[in-house]
Structure 1
Amino acid sequence: MADEALRRRRDSFDEDPDNYQAARPSYPERVYQVLTECGLGPGARVLEVGPGTGQVTGHLVAAGASVVAVELGPGLATRLRRNLADRDVTVIEGDFATVGVPGGGFDVAVCATSLHWLDAEVAVRRLAGLVRPGGWLVVWWTVFGDPERPAPWRVGLDPLYQRWLPGQRRNPVPVPLRVAERTAELETGGWFDLVGVEMIRWTHLLTPQRARGLWGTFPNVRELDPDQRQAFLHGVAEVIAGQPGGVAEDHYVTALYTARRRTDPAA
């Protein structure tokens, strides 16, 4: 994707913070179990890149961590500050590739469904300079629609994509599931050693309203003209409404990568 298109899609999340907060499902509990295994707990210093409205941030501070959160979108950053106004969270607004981050020596750095919006080589180098030797980098993405467990009702979305977003159906292997590529990114520069890759499979229930909201957060949908976008979202809601009881079970997979900051001088 061209740089300009990438920036435009990345910026789209800031256009409607209210819907983003309401529509995005939470992450499975296993993610936070792994974070605890990597040092999340009372007194831990955690750097979060791309916190959005604080879906993960709230869990981090509830575990007793002190969090520095770097958020690109001013609208999302404002909502994050409001949501966690009385908690130990410092919100820095700006592009992680260039913005100043105070201090260093973080015990854990986390990127929840955000690293793909950055130049991986630049981001990993910056993270290496901010995470203490022996500390952890934990990166994960949720794929909305597990390719290994396709929900039968999703065939009803095909005509909508063919009409409004031709050529933009999901790739056979979504980016987060390309383990060799993601591993190479995290190990670039020799700063981190990959420790684990885990595919967490889970299920989410969609109502017409939930589906409309969720698809309304996707950048390719937000690129549509307003009338086209509303027609597309209305179609998604209709597909869900047509399921038994007006509820559809959707299958997701969260791809979780853990890497440890190397301690040897060669890194």
Structure 2
Amino acid sequence: MRVYPETTTLRKPLSTHQGRHLFGQDPESYDAGRPDYPERVYEILVAECGLSPGARVVEIGPATGLVTARLLAHQATVTAVEPSAPLADFLRAAHPTEALDVVTAPFEEAELPDDGFDLAVAATSFHWVQPDVGAAKLRRIVKPGGQVALWWMMFEDPARPHEFDAAAEEILGMSPGTVMDPGGPPFQLDVDAHREYLTAAGFTGFAGEVIRSEARMDAARLRTLYASMALVLSHPPEERRRLLDAIENLVVDRFGGEVVRPFVTGFYRAGRR
């Protein structure tokens, strides 16, 4: 019989400083753990947000370049602003092209040109930026007629609860989606909150969309996914290993070695006049 670790919780929500540097501890593992976003995300970027050959795109918090690769594949020129030096170095090495410029700095501090971009994007990263300050900076650097697209993937779906999510929460002490604000509504799906700071900064035409998807994941794949999450990375290495062992054992012992996970992505866009 497997022995699972006692329930564990974060003592307090992660700070912005912690979050900006947490994922750079092991860029290779982070890169292996994160699944791509649904194709619908890229369809919206092309159809509604101006992603096209030659588009000038600023990406906030690209990490190891999951989205960066897709932007480059659409022949955009990308300025990637990444606060973690290890992640920034990984990104440069993974995409050695003149179409990519990597700026190692927090977004609020990065030197970026006024009206310099056709499109600004942030994929599961803008929560590490102070919303009002970040939105005001986006308003300055996105050219008139340009677009902002912000989205977050939750590795669970509150509207489609899954037995695995409840079991994993028993091990981890909380849901991965509530790390930023334990006890609060999912920030990733809070339409009013995202509309508020973008509208306050002067953006217009706000639109949001909820994109649902599924992923079939075996025990090893789920281990790599959870290894990339702040809820696990915030623990010391030995505790981290115990939690990941428990997650992997859970999949094998209670779910036959494989789980079809429901995911949900909240996508938000707005334009500059």
Normalising by structure 2, report the TM-score.
0.88
Shift of 1:154: 2.4
Matches within 5 A, 1:247-258: 247-258=258-269
CA distance in 2 between counterparts of 1:171 and 1:29 reads: 31
Would you say the 8 A contact 1:199–1:254 is kept in 2? Answer: yes
Partner of 1:62: 73
CA distance in 2 between counterparts of 1:41 and 1:185 reads: 27
Matches within 5 A, 1:156-167: 156-162=167-173
SS of the equivalent of 1:42 reads coil
Identity in percent: 35
Matches within 5 A, 1:92-241: 92-102=103-113, 104-162=115-173, 171=183, 173-189=185-201, 191-241=202-252
CA distance in 1 between counterparts of 2:138 and 2:114 reads: 12
Shift of 1:129: 0.8
Partner of 1:28: 38
Partner of 1:7: 17
Would you say the 8 A contact 2:16–2:129 is kept in 1? Answer: no
> In the alignment, which of 99, 114, 120 is matched to residue 88 of structure 1?
99
Shift of 1:245: 4.4
CA distance in 1 between counterparts of 2:43 and 2:200 reads: 26
CA distance in 2 between counterparts of 1:211 and 1:118 reads: 28
Residue type of the alignment partner of 1:46: V
- CA 1:155–1:20 in structure 2 vs 1: closer, same or farther (change >3 Å)? same
CA distance in 1 between counterparts of 2:254 and 2:41 reads: 30
Q: Write out per-residue CA displacement over residues 134-190 of structure 1, whole angstroms, 9 at most, x where no aligned residue.
A: 110000000110000011222322431349x9x96975731111111121122123x
SS of the equivalent of 1:35 reads helix
SS of the equivalent of 2:216 reads strand
SS of the equivalent of 2:15 reads helix
Would you say the 8 A contact 1:200–1:256 is kept in 2? Answer: yes
Partner of 2:3: none
- CA 1:55–1:260 in structure 2 vs 1: closer, same or farther (change >3 Å)? same
Residue type of the alignment partner of 1:56: V
CA distance in 2 between counterparts of 1:229 and 1:207 reads: 19
Would you say the 8 A contact 2:115–2:144 is kept in 1? Answer: no
1:19 paired to 2:29: yes
Partner of 1:265: none
CA distance in 2 between counterparts of 1:132 and 1:243 reads: 52
Give 4+ residue runs of structure 1 displaced > 4 Å after superposition.
Answer: 1-4, 167-172
Question: Please, which runs of 5 or more residues in structure 1 have no aligned partner?
Answer: 263-267
Moved more, 56-65 or 151-160: 151-160
Residue type of the alignment partner of 1:6: T
Question: Please, which runs of 5 or more residues in structure 2 have no aligned partner?
Answer: 1-10
Shift of 1:238: 1.0
Residue type of the alignment partner of 2:37: Y
Normalising by structure 1, report the TM-score.
0.90
- CA 1:63–1:225 in structure 2 vs 1: closer, same or farther (change >3 Å)? same
